[in-house]
Amino acid sequence: MLGGKIYLTSMNLIADLWPLALLVLLTTLLTEWATKAGKFPYWIGRKILHFVAVGSCALAVRMTDDLNSLFWLILPVWLLLFYLIATNKLMRDERGRPAWGIVWFPFAYLILLWFYAQEPRWIYLSMLILAISDPLATIFGKLFGKLKYSLSGEPKSLTGNAAFSISCLVILSYSVPYHFEYGFIHDFGLFLYLIVILLTVAEALGSYGSDNLHIPLFAIWLLSDPQDLTMLSPVIVVLMLAIPFIWLTVRSQKLTLGAAITATLLAIIVTFKSGSYLPLLPLIFFFGSSLLLEKIFPTKVLSDSKDRRSRDIMQVMANGGVYGAIFLFLPELTREFIGVSQTGKVAVSLYEAQRESVVLGRFLLGMGLVSLAVATADTWASTIGKRFAKTAFDPFRWQKVPAGLSGGISLPGTLAALLGSVGIASFLYLLLPDWRLIIPHLIMISIAGFGGMLVDSFLGSRLQRQYFYAGRWHDTPPDSGTPGQTRGLSWMTNDVVNLVSIMLVCGTLGLIFLLR
């Protein structure tokens, strides 16, 4: 009986959507043939397919009400597409590399179908922006763009940015009033311009197809909870401060342009979701203290190929990305008690009325602090250890190593890691003042941050890529020639180690929270 019902549902879905599926299939075959035959450049074929395929995904949610079945219908198609790209049996880009961008948009689509199945209008608008605005940015940039720049590796143009912004504004202007109840927003135009600016920046940060993933996810996050958009004042202030921040950090060579913009986006996300400036303070503390320690305690030891260079996007995301991602899932109720004494009558009544939401919000704030505690502990340990310790000890290989080598632990570095972790944990009092059992929570965050530093050391010792030359192991390859030996994974850089260690610690805490 159940099998028959599933079969009938699938047949009904296919009957509704087969014209779209046929259109995408024919477009794929035609563009593949045309690009290989030299009928037109590869990028034109890619954008034609992008418009048809992503546009069909947008239309599909308007042509059927069964988004759950649509998810299970798209999933095997995405897996097949992933296999074809990974095995080089389908389209490659101009440089002969696998066209992974084609894989990212159906993956984003699956995420939207899974988490927003009850709100197809959000999915429709998010995919429509990706279908229209993204290819227009490429087309206008390729044909008319003269002022080029690169934030994450792929050339972009101001002309392309303008095309993306204008088309996105047109889509939202015509679509949003018919899909959402935004009557409570006093300045609807300001709301639209804010979304367009943020999406344009997100598109500019994308490279080699990654924007196919983060544009629809970012768009649906901005549109999915219109109540969030009443809290525009803190975001506007952050945007105003962003210009001098970007100028100063890029001019002083502390951050690359892409990294400065990424850091600004993280600040906007945190402020936007929390409705407060307070959660920015731990980020500012991490960034400011890291720069200050490097200035006060300079060292000639290079533990990474990026040492003494401007921090790039990957470094910003490796250290602060998890903190920003956690705020994406922050319950709306959390705004009511950030920075508010929990002994107050309002806070107590909120706690009693919506206990689960409050507990989740408190936990996520704590886990966000843990992510920064790990990053701060590792950064302080590395900076102080390289400056004050001549040698370190690698407990995971049970041997002495030069100070600064990944996996090595020294007494000065260990003490600095503990202080850095405690420093971040202390911000819990600002976010949740007077909360019951505040000291135990501070201790737990400090321990988790310090433990994350040890996880980072383990990954650095056992998995990070290292090179043997000049009689010892190094984290960086030689300036000339080839190293005698290598160990670790080729893709496991210091940035990846930092990100994975933070994710492992936070993921473990999240699992404990779910199983409590």
Q: What are phi and psi of 399, to 5 degrees?
A: -160, 155
Residue 370 has which token pair?
Answer: 């843990």
Instruction: Give the 3-state secondary structure of residue 392.
Output: strand
CA 151 and chain centroid, separation: 15
pLDDT digits (tens, 9 = 90+) for 12-55: 667 678 888 889 889 988 987 887 787 778 788 888 888 999 99
Taking only the tens place, the pLDDT of each residue in 361-383 is 788 888 999 999 999 999 999 88
* 88 Cβ contact partners less than 8 Å away, ≥ 6 residues apart: 98
Which run of H or of E encompasses 293? helix 280-296
Distance (Å, whole) CA 378 – CA 370: 12
DSSP 256: -
Give pLDDT, residue 187: 55
pLDDT on residue 57: 92
- In the DSSP assignment, the letter for residue 333 is G
Residue entry with tokens 């190593």: 401
User: Residues, the chain, total?
Assistant: 516
**How is residue 282 written in tokens?**
């731990």
pLDDT at 340: 54
Task: Provide the residue-wise pLDDT of the chain in tens; the chain has 516 residues.
Answer: 444 444 545 566 676 788 888 898 899 889 878 877 877 787 888 888 889 999 999 999 988 888 888 898 889 888 988 888 877 776 566 566 667 778 888 999 999 999 888 888 889 999 999 999 999 998 888 888 777 777 777 788 888 888 999 999 888 877 765 445 544 444 566 677 778 888 888 888 877 778 888 899 888 887 876 544 555 667 777 877 888 888 888 888 888 888 888 999 899 888 887 877 888 899 999 998 988 888 887 776 666 666 667 888 899 999 999 999 898 887 765 666 665 544 444 444 545 546 677 778 788 888 999 999 999 999 999 888 888 877 888 888 888 888 778 888 889 889 999 999 999 998 887 777 655 556 788 889 999 999 999 999 999 889 888 888 777 777 777 777 676 677 878 888 888 999 999 999 999 998 888 777
Query: Is residue 253 within 8 Å of residue 243, measured between CB atoms?
Result: no
HEC profile of 16-84: HHHHHHHHHHHHHHHHHHHHHCCCCCHHHHHHHHHHHHHHHHHHHHHHCCCHHHHHHHHHHHHHHHHHH
Task: Sort strands 485-487 and 472-474 into parallel, antiparallel or unpaired.
Answer: unpaired
Which one, of 410, 416, 248, 229, lies nearest residue 335 by Cα?
229
Q: What is the pLDDT of residue 94?
A: 59
Query: In whole angstroms, how far apart are CA 162 and each of 141, 380, 506?
Result: 9, 41, 39
Query: Quick one: pLDDT at residue 45?
Result: 83
pLDDT of residue 232: 63
Is the separation of the CB atoms in 284 and 427 below 8 Å? no
Report, in angstroms and rounded to the nearest whole number, the Rg of the chain calculated over CA atoms: 25
- The answer to whether the CB of 120 falls within 8 A of the CB of 61 is yes
Is this structure's pTM higher than 0.75? Answer: no
